[in-house]
Amino acid sequence: MRPLLRARPTGGGPGRAPAFLAVPAVLALAFLVLPLAGLVLRAPWREAPELLAGAGVGQALRLSLLTASAATVVCLLLGIPLAWLLARPDLPGRSALRALVTVPLVLPPVVGGVALFTVLGRTGLIGRPLYELTGFAFPFTTAGVVLAEAFVALPFLVLAVEGALRAADRRYEEAAATLGASQWTVFRRVTLPLVAPGVAAGAVLCWARALGEFGATITFAGNFPGSTQTMPLAVYQALEGADPRAAVLLSVLLLGVSVAVLGLLRDQWVNRL
């Protein structure tokens, strides 16, 4: 059969963007990429081996990957149900709740760290009874780092998943219910797979945000190599200390590792979906 319509090669086809979009788009890209390129160019590659071997870099990097991943798991476990709740059209006070969820986005992370003290610190609302009962307090522990990162990263996950849930066709859930599926089965076998791309996008944002987290972590969890000093803290310390060149190198390393991890995950998902 002959196609009824054939795309014409002339004129504004989909391949060519108009200048009023292309120019700012290229500017935006340059704005994002050039500072990174600057870091890469300014990194003292020649001294790289000794600089990286010295500063407990491996320890900080390992801790960063571990805590960011743990924070992402925490965010997934708590954030998906919250997103589900927020996506319900009949939820009373929904817009107010949504605004609350976005608070950590607006809050300077350092203030977030202080806020965490007031609740989960050793003298905090929940932290004090916890400390009196168990002798455990979050500040200065790796768990504290995870908590600080999760606090800052959670909105990214919630908003991404909520958006996906609202865009999803909820009638699939009805179809599942008519087939005898319990609410849990509907959620697990229909709702969640339907919004899987949104969850994946949210988890990536969440992980990336957690990996780069600095302010809340250093305020709430402190800074000690091996237990709470993540890469961003190590970068800052190097920047403030004797050797800012090491800071540049550490930044580039963190950048490289995160890009590699995200690239790997992306391939995995693309293959699976």
Partner 1 sequence: MTVDARIVVHRSGWSLDLELAVGAGEVVALLGPNGAGKTTALRVLAGLQPLDAGHVVIAGETVTDLPSARRSVGVVFQDHLLFPHLSALENVAFGPRARGVPAAVARRTAREWLDRVGVGEHAAARPRTLSGGQAQRVALARALAAEPRLLLLDEPLAALDARTRLTVRSDLRRHLASFGGAAVLVTHDPFDAMVLADRIVVVEDGAEVQTGTPAEVSRRPRTEYVARLVGLNLLRGVATGHHVDVDGGGELVTADSAFGPVYAAFRPAAVSVYPERPAGSPRNVWPGRVTTAEPHGDAVRIQVDAAGLPVLVDCTTAAVAELGLGPGSPVWLSVKASEIEVYPS
Partner 2 sequence: MTTRRPLATVLLAGVLLSAAACGSGSSATKSGGDTEKVAGSITVFAAASLTGTFTALGTAFEKAHPGTEVGFNFGASSTLARQLTEGAPGDVFAAASGTTMATVTKAGAAAGTPAVFARNRLEIAVPAANPGHVRGPADFARPALRIAMCAPQVPCGAAATKAFAAAGITPRPDTLEQDVKATLAKVVSGEADAALVYRTDVRAAGTAVRGLDFPEAAKAVNDYPIVALRSSGNAATAAAFRDFVLSPAGRSALVAAGFDAP
Beta strands in the chain (DSSP E): none
The nearest distance, CB 111 to partner 2, in angstroms, is 12
With CB under 5 to 8 Å by kind, the binding choice for 181 among partner 2, partner 1, none is: partner 1
Largest CA distance in the chain: 79
Among 57, 222, 230, 252, binds partner 2 (CB under 8 A): 222
Please give the residues from 242 up to 271 whose contact with partner 2 meets the rule CB under 8 A: 242, 244
Whole-number minimum distance, CB 1 to partner 1, in Å? 14
Backbone conformation region of residue 230, classed left if phi is above 0, alpha if psi is from -120 to 50, else beta:
beta
Q: Name the DSSP class of 11.
A: S
How many Cβ atoms are within 10 Å of 259's Cβ, its own excluded? 12
Pick 117 or 172: Cβ nearer partner 2: 117
Contact 117, 173 (CB under 8 A): no
Exposure class string for 98-124: b at 16+ Cβ within 10 A, else e: beebeebeebebeebbbbbbeebbeeb
Least distance in Å: CB of 173 to partner 1? Answer: 10
Q: For residues 169 and 240, which CB has a smaller minimum distance to partner 1 in the complex? A: 169
Distances from the Cα of 43 to the Cα of 205, 249, 251, angstroms: 26, 5, 9
Q: Give the range of 35-43, 121-129, 173-181, 262-270 binding partner 2 by CB under 8 A.
A: 121-129
Select the binding partner of residue 187 from partner 2, partner 1, none (C-beta < 5 to 8 A, by kind): none
Span of 6-14, 65-73, 93-101, 181-189 interacting with partner 1 by CB under 8 A:
181-189
- The DSSP line for 109-153 is HHHHHHHHHHHHSTTSTTHHHHHHHHS--STTSHHHHHHHHHHHH
Between CA 181 and CA 138 the distance in angstroms is: 41
Task: By CB under 8 A, tell whether 172 contacts partner 2.
Answer: no
196 makes contact, choosing from partner 2, partner 1, none, with CB < 5 to 8 Å by partner type, with partner 1
Nearest distance, CB of residue 7 and partner 2, angstroms:
53
Q: With contacts defined by CB under 8 A, how many residues of the chain interact with partner 1?
A: 19
Residues that bind partner 1 (CB under 8 A): 169, 171-172, 174-183, 185, 189-190, 193-194, 196
